[in-house]
């Protein structure tokens, strides 16, 4: 059961081979056994989960089921969840219990899924290693000395370690895809606007997008069916007809044009990752796809542009955490300004403070044009690169991350090295395009390598088709980390 | 040495929508603190803004009224104005910065030297902040977020006004306009319409001086007093050879003075940038056309029409158009008239009727006299049934709900005496019993004549036709 696909779990529940309560207990026990070492979850509340599981069992008994009814799903602690603690990995929200559910949570609740717990993450999703969490770093199930990637590292580790059959994450610059790659699972960042951001605590509003992490593309399709959809409460939510993301899974890949950007295979890409990705491209060719060399000439500007835009938006988005209405407030202060200063200095960790400072600086009078405005122009250039590319290919494929997982602490002191982890994933966020990562082999120290697939706007069904066909021909996604030390 | 005062106004008009600018929260005034602040208004983690279509529509209505289609930006952008304050839940206010919804337009005001156009720089949509209550709690401040997110239209004028009186005329005209087009209730006590004034002074012909901004003037009187105080303060500094420091000042109504809040150096860097949670505001031609079709005739157009169509003076025309209800009442009465001229109607509406409404503290919507009934009353003066003086009494009766003019005239026996014989008899009696006044009049004292008229009117309980009384008296005194 721990290794079963969502389709198999759904069938088992429908056929009463297992109840939702039993299934939920199974995963809760797994969490209990492994979380002490992996630290993938910030909050687990068996009673609440089991109450939902019982309700799901009643639904199943009545025959009123949907594909996710009764299936436990772990949620990144960035989605506010009614009556659950929602911390966003931060001390400043260490006491915050949300009075409302995020749209994504509503969707899963509506589908009858069970909330298995809230997963650990980089504080306010700012990081690529899940080390910046106030609740301690997450360990990579493939090797506990390594980071699982971030910021959705708790969700990725939970799926990799079979503590959860599926999880949600958010991706601002690669925060679903990079941990999926480093933890050997599948993850999808949908087109900007496809999944409502209502109730998803904002990091950088114009880049943030929620999406699923799971063991396979097929599972991702099922999860995306639940997550996607118009929400009038999010002005950037896109109003379009609902689609079944599974509908193209079984299409053969014959004639598929795969764009391979030379910029993503140059300096900085580790040899082991390059070899695994190269092998995956060959595998796709075997399946009938055609390789098309493409260029993304402005790709190199994406990291600097991102580190202007994302901190700028974050500096403003995080202003609401001021100790006035909710969350942490400093115990002692002299006056209002001192209350703000102490509350925010105590409540935010170093990386969050760094980004607030960068963001405040680039938006300041006299610097706005030189930084923010210029970064927005670069953003347009990067989007235009993809428009050109998609005239010649159906999907863009390359490595998700330049290296396999690095050791905990290895890059903590060098933010630029840390930021370069997302060099291949950031362009999709800047352009608003969908991107995904699927396992495609192993590199140094037997750590997983991720294959990055970027599609055109709203082409999730096609991307999932490519990924599913690849996963039918390979078994990288079925490998599970051995010997996790409890 | 002649000094010139230069004034520009920034006016915040609360838009009359039921829900807030970016949330479904209620905008109703006077609820217990924080009972009308929802998840979005208090900026819980994860909430997002959605622009209120009704507020946007009202802003477009305003643009059409002050400048027509050409001043409506088809694409405008919401921006974040960042600063920390406890009554600002998000730590930023959503406003419009580089691209406001209305750019340009003008407000025409009536000054002593005639009509003057005050140019508008812009009008933009934004949300209000909450309220800090510093007095209610010892050693603490209370925060009431009911106001947080209430929709505002900030209307910014060019520095085109040259006196406190002009500034007040502009504010009053603007105030009348926003109510006229139904976008703001204009309630100044509740803060629905408030002004900030930018004031500078210069020697005639010199370039613009350094300005000070006076905040939160919530009555026309305070606006006038604050500008007058501030101009005097600045002139005195300059006369003494000093320099004006650019700063924000607060008007203290109790002390009738302005005092410094913060200087330019202490001013915030608001770090404006486009709000990524909101798409640019796109306004279609079709929508503008729809809004335009529903726009009422505007006060300025009415004023012009009254002058040409009804031959009224600019002054009367402007008095009649200070509210839409009054203008519409005037037109209704004019349409229902048989006899008198619009000028008479105008005099009655701006005179006796306005005084009556004032005394009773009501407005036209609460007036029990229909336009038709009022026209009938005026017709009764014209046809000689009653005198103008008696008509005033009838008017009050009508306002009390005692019936129409004819019914009251009959019930109270107010019908005018126009029988020359009857009036002559009374005149004879009055002349006989007032020999002193007769003598005075004949000796050239005009005043004595008025006294004799008064005696006749008194003897008839005011019912004698005043024209006839005059004529008969004159004839008898001459004879």
- Using the Cβ of A37 and the Cβ atoms of chain B, whether some distance falls under 8 Å is answered with no
Residue A108 sits at the chain B interface (C-beta within 8 Å): no
Phi-psi category of B51—alpha, beta or left, where left has phi over 0 and alpha has psi -120 to 50?
beta
Closest chain A residue to the Cα of B23, Cα to Cα: A233
Domain assignment of residue B304, yes or no: no
Question: By CA distance, what is B90's nearest residue in A?
Answer: A320
CA A256, distance to chain mean position in Å, is: 26
CB within 8 Å: B43 and A198: no
Assess whether pLDDT exceeds 90 at residue B441: no
Same domain, B8 and B76: yes
Interchain CB distance below 8 Å, A205 and B276? yes
The answer to whether the CB atoms of A198 and B47 lie below 8 A apart is: yes
Neighbouring residues of B143: CB distance < 8 A, sequence distance ≥ 6: A324, B34, B86, B87, B130, B131, B132, B133
Rounded Cα gap, residues A224 and A245, in angstroms: 7
Distance from CA of A288 to the nearest CA of B (A): 41
**Contact B45/A99, CB-based, under 8 Å?**
no
Domain for residue B143, yes or no?
yes
CB contact under 8 A, A319 and B42: no
Q: Do B39 and A99 touch (CB under 8 A)?
A: yes
* Whole-number pLDDT of residue A414: 87
Within a domain: A92: yes
Q: Could you tell me if residue A74 is inside a domain?
A: yes
The answer to whether residues A475 and A420 touch, using CB atoms and an 8 Å cutoff, is no
Which of A333-347, B146-160, B379-393 shows the lowest mean pLDDT across its residues? Answer: B379-393
Which of the residues A90, A98, A151, A437 is marked catalytic?
A: A151
Domain shared by B381 and B472, yes or no:
no
**A368 → chain B, closest CA residue:** B271
Tokens of A429: 């966020």
To which H or E segment does residue B229 belong? helix B220-239
A334 at the B interface (CB within 8 A)? no
Residues of chain B with pLDDT > 90, as a percent, come to 64
Options A76, A118, A189, A411, the catalytic residue: A76
Q: Give the CA distances from residue A261 to residues A8, A70, A298, B35, in Å, rounded to whole numbers and listed in that order.
A: 37, 42, 11, 56
| Shortest CA gap A202–chain B (Å) | 6
The backbone torsions φ and ψ at residue A436, rounded to the nearest 5 degrees and listed phi first, read -145, 160
> Is A357's Cβ below 8 Å from some Cβ in B?
no
Are residues A240 and A195 in contact, defined by beta-carbon separation less than 8 angstroms?
no
What tokens does A165 get?
Answer: 């059959």
Once rounded to an integer, what is the mean pLDDT over residues B239-248?
94
Task: Judge: B269–A236 Cβ closer than 8 Å, yes or no.
Answer: no
Mutate to test the interface with B, among A347, A363, A364 (most CBs of B within 10 A): A363
The confidence band for A436, taking pLDDT boundaries of 50, 70 and 90, is very high
Q: Which residue has the tokens 């924080």?
A: B34
Determine whether the interchain pair A235/B89 forms a contact, defined as Cβ–Cβ distance below 8 Å: no
- Each as own residue / partner, the long-range contacts of residues A235-240 (CB below 8 Å, 24 or more positions apart, any chain) are A235/B48, A235/B49, A235/B50, A235/B51, A235/B277, A235/B278, A235/B279, A236/A192, A236/A193, A236/A197, A236/A205, A236/A206, A236/B276, A236/B277, A236/B279, A237/A193, A237/A196, A237/A197, A237/A198, A238/A191, A238/A193, A238/A194, A238/A458, A240/A458
Query: Is A325 close to B89, i.e. CB distance below 8 A?
Result: yes
* B172 and B106 in a common domain: yes
- H, E, C per residue of B2-61: CEEEEEEEEEEEECCCCECCCCCCECCCCCCCCCCCCCCCCCCCCCCCCCCHHHHHHHHH
Residue B135: band (very low, low, confident or very high) from pLDDT cuts 50, 70, 90? confident
Distance from C-alpha of B20 to C-alpha of B146, rounded to nearest angstrom: 10
- Asked whether residue B220 falls in the same domain as residue B180, the answer is yes
Task: Confirm or reject contact between A236 and chain B (CB < 8 A).
Answer: yes
As a whole number, mean pLDDT of residues B343-360 equals 92
Last residue of some domain: B291, B310, B335?
B291
Is residue A354 in some structural domain?
Answer: no
Nearest to A312 among B42, B90, B273 (CB): B273
Average pLDDT of span A265-282: 96
- What is the rounded average pLDDT for all residues in chain A? 97
- My answer on whether B117 and B208 are in the same domain is yes
Mutation target among B45, B143, B272 for the A interface, most CBs of A within 10 A? B45
pLDDT bucket at B420, cuts 50 / 70 / 90: confident
- If asked whether residues B65 and B153 sit together in one domain, one would say yes
pLDDT at B416 over 80: no
Question: Which residues of B have a CB under 8 Å from any CB of A?
Answer: 39, 42-51, 80, 82, 84, 86, 89-92, 143, 269, 271-273, 276-279
| Contact residues on chain B for A336, CB-CB shorter than 8 A | 86
Domain that holds residue B380: 324-412
Please tell me whether residues B402 and B426 are part of one structural domain: no
Indicate whether B359 and B434 sit together in one domain. no
Structural domain contains residue A275: no
For residue B95, pLDDT beyond 70: yes
Residue A127 CA to residue A151 CA, distance in Å, equals 5
Tens-digit pLDDT profile for residues B207-235? 999 999 999 898 999 999 999 999 999 99
Number of structural domains (chain A) is 1
Q: Give the pLDDT band of residue B1 (cuts 50, 70, 90).
A: low
Candidate from B48, B271, B272 with C-beta closest to A233: B48
* Nearest-by-CA chain A residue for B142: A324
Instruction: Determine, yes or no, domain membership for A208.
Output: yes
Residues A362, A307: Cα–Cα separation, whole Å: 10
Record the tokens describing residue B4, joined without a space: 């010139």
Identify the active-site residue in A98, A129, A175, A315: A175
pLDDT at res. B470: 86
**B89 lies in the same domain as B219:** yes
The answer to whether residue A453 is domain-embedded is: yes
Nearest CA in chain A to B82: A316
Tell me which chain B residues have a C-beta less than 8 angstroms from the C-beta of A79.
46
pLDDT digits (tens, 9 = 90+) for A55-65: 999 999 998 88
Question: pLDDT (tens digit, 9 = 90+) per residue, B267-276?
Answer: 789 999 999 9
- Spatial neighbors of B264 by CB under 8 A, at least 6 apart, are B245, B246, B247
In this structure, the answer to whether residues B142 and B229 fall within a common structural domain is: yes
Would the pLDDT of B103 be above 90? yes
Same domain, B164 and B236: yes
Q: CA angle at residue A349 from A344 to A355, to 5 degrees? A: 85
Which contiguous run of DSSP H or E holds residue B143?
strand B142-144
A151 catalytic? Reply is yes
Q: Is the pLDDT of residue A374 over 80?
A: yes
pTM: 0.91
Confidence of residue A163 (pLDDT cuts 50, 70, 90): very high
A144 touches chain B (CB under 8 A): no
* pLDDT score for B249: 94
ipTM entry: 0.96
Number of domains forming the structure of chain B: 3
Select from A300, A235, A315 the least CA-distant residue to A264. A300
The pLDDT-based confidence of B455 (bands split at 50, 70, 90) is confident
Any B CB within 8 A of A239 CB? no
- B89 domain-assigned: yes
Q: Please check whether residue B311 lies inside any domain of the structure.
A: no
Q: Which of A193, A208, A316, A363 to mutate to test the interface with B (most CBs of B within 10 A)?
A: A316
Look at residues B315, B41, B324, B88 and name the one whose alpha carbon lies nearest to residue B183. B324
**Residue B383, C-beta contacts closer than 8 angstroms, at least 6 positions apart:** B339
Residue of A320, A344, A352, A358 to mutate when probing chain B, most B C-beta within 10 A: A320
Question: Closest to A319 (Cβ–Cβ): which among B44, B50, B90?
Answer: B90
Contacts of B86 in chain A (CB under 8 A): 322, 324, 336
Chain B hits for A319, CB-CB cut-off 8 Å, are: 82, 84, 90-92
Enumerate the residues of chain B whose CB falls inside 8 A of the CB of residue A98: 44-46
Query: CB within 8 A of B315, min separation 6: which ones?
Result: B110
Cβ within 8 Å, pair A363-B46: no
User: Which residues form the domain of A102?
Assistant: 6-256+392-478
Report the distance separating Cα A303 and Cα A307, nearest Å: 6
Place of tokens 């295979």: A265
CA distance B122 to chain A (A): 22
Check if A76 is active-site.
Answer: yes
Cβ separation B45–A360 shorter than 8 A? no
Active site residue A183: no
What's the average model confidence in pLDDT over B1-30? 95
Where residue B339 falls among pLDDT bands split at 50, 70, 90? low
B318 in a structural domain: no
B389 falls in which pLDDT band (50, 70, 90)? confident
Q: Is the pLDDT of residue B366 over 90?
A: no
Q: Which of B22-36, B181-195, B354-368 has the lowest mean pLDDT?
A: B354-368
Does residue B306 lie within any of the structural domains?
no
pLDDT of B340 reads 66
**In sequence order, what are the beta bridge partners of B127?**
B151
CATH number at residue B429: 1.10.10.410
Match 């026990």 to its residue by tokens: A29
Put simply, the answer to whether A199 touches B47 (Cβ < 8 Å) is: yes
Contact B50 A100 (CB under 8 A): no
Is A378 at the interface with chain B, CB within 8 A? no
8-state DSSP, B464 = B
Interval A67-111: pLDDT, tens:
999 999 999 999 999 999 999 999 999 999 999 999 999 999 999
Of residues B50, B271, B279, nearest to A360 (C-beta): B271
Query: Distance (Å, rounded) from C-alpha A293 to C-alpha A264?
Result: 11
pLDDT at position B473, please? 86
In a domain, A344, yes or no: no
What ranges make up the beta strands (E) of B158-279?
193-203, 212-217, 247-252, 257-263, 273-274
Kindly state whether residue B51 falls inside one of the protein's structural domains.
yes
Size of interface A-B (CB pairs under 8 A): 95
List the single residue in A with minimal CA-CA distance to B89.
A320
User: In B, which residues are within 8 Å of A315 by CB distance?
Assistant: 82, 271
Nearest to B39 by CA among A340, A101, A314, A202: A101
Sort out which chain B residues have CB atoms less than 8 A from A93's CB and list them: 45
CATH code (residue A75): 3.90.1300.10
Comparing alpha-carbon positions, the chain B residue that sits nearest to A312 is B273
Say if residue B437's pLDDT is above 90.
no
Nearest CA in chain B to A361: B271
pLDDT tens per residue across span A233-260: 999 999 999 999 999 999 999 999 999 9
Determine which of A237-246, B17-26, B106-115, B412-421 has the lowest per-residue pLDDT on average.
Answer: B412-421
Q: What is the pLDDT of residue A251?
A: 97
CB-based contact A179:A147 (threshold 8 Å): no
């Amino acid at each position: 059961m721990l290794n079963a696909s969502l389709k198999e779990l759904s069938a088992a529940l429908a056929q009463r081979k297992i109840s939702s309560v039993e299934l939920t207990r199974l995963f809760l026990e797994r969490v209990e056994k492994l979380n002490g070492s992996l630290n993938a979850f910030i909050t687990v509340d068996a009673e609440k989960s089991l109450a939902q599981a019982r309700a799901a069992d009643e639904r199943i008994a009545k025959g009123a089921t949907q594909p996710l009814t009764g299936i436990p799903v772990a949620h990144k602690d960035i989605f506010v969840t009614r009556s659950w603690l929602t911390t966003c990995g931060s001390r400043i929200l260490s006491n915050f219990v949300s009075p409302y559910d995020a749209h994504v949570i509503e969707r899963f609740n509506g589908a009858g899924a069970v909330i298995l717990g809230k997963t650990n993450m980089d504080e306010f999703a700012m990081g690529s290693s899940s080390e910046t969490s106030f609740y301690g770093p997450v360990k990579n199930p493939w090797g506990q000395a390594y980071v699982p990637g971030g910021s959705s590292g708790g969700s990725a580790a939970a799926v990799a370690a079979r503590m959860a059959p599926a999880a949600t994450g958010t991706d601002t610059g690669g925060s679903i895809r990079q941990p999926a790659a480093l933890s050997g699972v599948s993850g999808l960042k949908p087109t900007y606007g496809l999944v409502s951001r209502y109730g998803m605590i904002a990091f950088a509003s114009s880049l943030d997008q929620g999406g699923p992490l799971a063991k396979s593309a097929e599972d991702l399709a099922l999860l995306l069916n639940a997550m996607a959809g118009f929400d009038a409460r999010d002005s950037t939510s896109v109003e379009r007809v609902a689609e079944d993301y599974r509908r193209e899974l079984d299409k053969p890949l014959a004639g598929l044009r795969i764009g391979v950007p030379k910029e993503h295979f140059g300096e900085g890409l580790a040899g082991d990752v390059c070899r695994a990705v190269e092998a995956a491209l060959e595998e796709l060719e075997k399946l009938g796809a055609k390789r098309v060399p493409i260029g993304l000439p402005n790709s190199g500007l994406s990291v600097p542009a991102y580190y202007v835009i994302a901190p700028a938006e974050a500096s403003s988005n995080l202003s609401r955490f001021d100790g006035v209405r909710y969350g942490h407030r400093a115990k002692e202060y002299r006056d209002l300004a001192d209350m703000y200063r102490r509350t925010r200095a105590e409540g935010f960790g170093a990386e969050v403070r760094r980004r607030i400072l960068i963001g405040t600086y680039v938006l300041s009078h006299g610097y706005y044009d030189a930084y923010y405005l210029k970064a927005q122009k670069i953003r347009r250039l990067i989007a235009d690169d993809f428009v050109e590319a998609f005239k010649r290919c159906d999907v863009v494929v390359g490595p998700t991350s330049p290296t396999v997982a690095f050791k905990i602490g290895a890059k903590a002191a060098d933010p630029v090295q840390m930021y370069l982890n997302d060099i291949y994933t950031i362009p999709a966020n800047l352009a608003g395009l969908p991107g995904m990562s699927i396992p495609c082999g192993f590199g140094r120290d037997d750590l997983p390598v991720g294959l990055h697939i970027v599609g055109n706007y709203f082409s999730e069904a096609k991307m999932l088709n490519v990924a599913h066909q690849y996963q039918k021909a390979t078994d990288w996604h079925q490998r599970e980390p051995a010997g996790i030390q409890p | 040495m002649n000094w010139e005062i230069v004034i520009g106004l920034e006016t915040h008009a609360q838009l009359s929508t039921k829900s807030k600018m970016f949330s479904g929260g209620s905008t109703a005034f006077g609820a217990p603190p924080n009972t009308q602040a929802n998840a979005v208004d208090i900026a819980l983690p994860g909430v997002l803004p959605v622009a209120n279509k009704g507020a946007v529509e009202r802003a477009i209505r305003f643009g059409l009224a002050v400048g027509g289609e050409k001043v409506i930006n088809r694409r405008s952008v919401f921006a974040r104005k960042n600063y920390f304050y406890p009554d600002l839940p998000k730590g930023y206010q959503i406003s419009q910065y580089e691209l406001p919804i209305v750019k340009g337009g003008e407000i025409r005001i009536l000054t002593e030297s005639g009509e003057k156009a005050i140019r508008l720089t812009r009008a933009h949509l934004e949300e209000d902040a909450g309220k800090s209550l510093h007095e209610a709690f010892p050693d603490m401040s209370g925060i009431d977020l009911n106001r947080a997110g209430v929709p505002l239209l900030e209307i910014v004028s060019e520095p085109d006004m040259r006196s406190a009186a002009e500034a007040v005329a502009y504010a009053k005209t603007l105030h009348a306009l926003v109510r006229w087009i139904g976008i703001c209730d204009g309630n100044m006590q509740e803060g629905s319409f408030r002004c900030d004034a930018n004031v500078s002074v210069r020697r005639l012909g010199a370039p613009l001086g350094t300005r000070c901004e006076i905040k939160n003037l919530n009555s026309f009187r305070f606006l006038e007093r604050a500008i007058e105080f501030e101009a005097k303060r600045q002139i005195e500094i300059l006369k003494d050879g000093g320099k004006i420091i650019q700063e924000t000042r607060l008007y203290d109504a109790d002390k009738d003075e302005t005092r410094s809040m913060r200087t330019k150096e202490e001013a915030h860097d608001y770090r404006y940038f486009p709000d990524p949670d909101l798409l640019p505001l796109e306004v279609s031609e079709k929508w503008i056309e729809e809004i335009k079709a529903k726009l009422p005739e505007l006060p300025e157009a009415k004023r012009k029409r009254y002058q040409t169509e009804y031959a009224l003076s600019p002054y009367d025309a402007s008095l009649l158009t200070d509210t839409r209800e009054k203008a519409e009442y005037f037109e209704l009465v004019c349409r229902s008239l048989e006899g008198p001229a619009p000028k008479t109607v105008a005099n009655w509406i701006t005179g006796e009727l306005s005084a009556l409404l004032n005394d009773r503290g009501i407005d036209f919507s609460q007036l029990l006299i229909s336009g038709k009934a009022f026209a009938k009353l005026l017709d009764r003066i014209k046809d000689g049934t009653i005198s103008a003086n008696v008509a005033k009494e009838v008017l009050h009766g009508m306002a009390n709900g005692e019936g129409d003019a004819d019914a009251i005239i009959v019930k109270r026996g107010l019908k005018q005496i126009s029988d020359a014989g009857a009036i002559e008899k009374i005149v004879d009696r009055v002349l006989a019993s007032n020999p002193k006044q007769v003598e005075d009049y004949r000796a050239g004292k005009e005043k004595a004549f008025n006294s004799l008229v008064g005696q006749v009117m008194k003897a008839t309980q005011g019912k004698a036709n005043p024209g006839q009384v005059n004529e008969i008296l004159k004839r008898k005194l001459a004879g």
